[in-house]
Structure 1
Amino acid sequence: MNKPFLGRGWSFPPTFTRGLGGVEILEEEADIASSLEILLTTMPGERVMFPDYGCNTEELVFESLDTTTKTLMADKIESAILYYEPRIELEKVRLDTSRELEGVILIEAIYRVRTTNSRFNFVFPFYKQEGTDINQPGSPAEATLTPLPDLR
């Protein structure tokens, strides 16, 4: 089923195709997942024409992982999704801290696409490690999107 009402946009980072003279386009649920990944990795002030856009979890990188920090992180994520992703309704944000000693927190956002009533699970890894250009297993470039069973 074609669902153009869910949106379409450039992949991020933009990927250009040879021969066709175009840019890779994401559509529907993949566009929403890409939008969530961009939202969670953008700091407010980073976009000149849209200075409030972003999540700003980076300011929590070196904080101790106590209940206050976890609550603040979940609240920042929930607020950013509420304000900047109108295509979905966020059901829950969970923080998986089982790999805390490795410097990894998995952010799990369970949401429902408003127009199709489809549920998805978006998992985004948040690192306390130094950034490099190497894609590590579970790096932000490998955020996952899992469809959940329809509960209609």
Structure 2
Amino acid sequence: MPTFQTFKDLSVTFKPHPITDDLLVVKDKAAIFQSIKNLLLTRKGERPFQPNLGSSLDTALFEPLDFGSAAIVRNEIRECLKDYEPRIRVDQVGVEPDDQNNGYEISLQFTIVGRDDAPEAIEFFLERTR
């Protein structure tokens, strides 16, 4: 008998629910998308008591914008999600340098573990910030 998992996380906006006044909850795909974004944008050493949580994308973004640094970004994304997001299995990570906008076009395809859903995809732009 197949099992169906559901996932819940607190919304990072910390806005209250308009009726119950509890914190908003994000569910299933939205919870995983939020978690992926948070993991990739968290620098290693940023979280107290969890110094290895996060990624080193911030340092890779200050390397020359070429296919060599794109490979570093790709590997960093794969390793971060493999280590800290057990709800997914990463199928493909695409990283394309964008010289015009000084960043990388990221396309991420993954499968949610424990569900028979079709693979999910996220696309976003990763750029340097100060």
Q: Do the two structures share a fold, i.e. TM-score over 0.5? A: yes
Query: Residues 7-65 of structure 1: CA distance to partner in whole angstroms, max 9, x if unpaired?
Result: 20111232223552211100111101110000111001111132211012011222112
Corresponding residue for residue 123 of structure 2: 123
CA RMSD between the two structures? 1.9
Contact 2:92 2:110 in 1 (8 A): yes
Segments of 4+ in structure 1 off by > 6 A?
A: none
Shift in alpha-carbon separation, 1:4–1:115, aligned structure 2, 3 A: closer
Contact 1:106 1:125 in 2 (8 A): yes
Structure 1: which 5+ runs fail to align?
Answer: 131-152
- One-letter code aligned to 1:105: Y
Query: Residues 48-106 of structure 1: CA distance to partner in whole angstroms, max 9, x if unpaired?
Result: 13221101201122211222211111000000000011111100100133x32212312
SS of residue in 2 equivalent to 1:59: helix
The whole-number CA distance in structure 2 between the counterparts of 1:71 and 1:63 is 11
Sequence identity, in percent? 20
Number of aligned residue pairs = 127
Shift in alpha-carbon separation, 1:129–1:44, aligned structure 2, 3 A: closer
TM-score by length of 2: 0.87
